Amino acid sequence: MRIAVVGARTWFANHYPEGWQHDPDVLCLDVFEGDYSWLMVLRNWRPDVTLFYRPELYPARYLDRVPGQRIAFLTEPLPAMR
């Protein structure tokens, strides 16, 4: 199973899978909400599962293009949405 993690390393590195640096089935992407170049890397890698930290920072049209299961971790409070 190929697992990808999308989130700013500064804030979420302690949540990356253990031993990810040496595991060919784990891809951790250090991302910035002003740059979406990580999307092509992620799509071409074709993960089975992708964990997104702070997915609300990225347009849904980009997140919808990621293959496999997508799991969101919201780390900030969000206002009620209607």
As a whole number of angstroms, the distance between CA 78 and CA 76 comes to 6
Q: Which of residues 17 and 68 earns the better pLDDT score?
A: 68
Residue 33 or residue 56, greater confidence = 56
For the whole model, what pTM was predicted? 0.83
Q: Round to whole Å and give the CA distance between 52 and 75.
A: 10
Q: How confident is the model at residue 81 (pLDDT cuts 50, 70, 90)?
A: low
Q: Under a CB-based contact definition with an 8 Å cutoff, are residues 42 and 24 in contact?
A: no
The mean per-residue pLDDT over the stretch 18-26 comes to 91
Q: What is the predicted pLDDT for the residue at 56?
A: 84
Is pLDDT at 39 greater than 70 in this prediction? yes
Tokens of 11: 């804030």
Continuous segment of H or E residues that includes residue 34: none
DSSP state of 36: -
H helices of the chain, in order, are 9-12, 38-45, 60-63
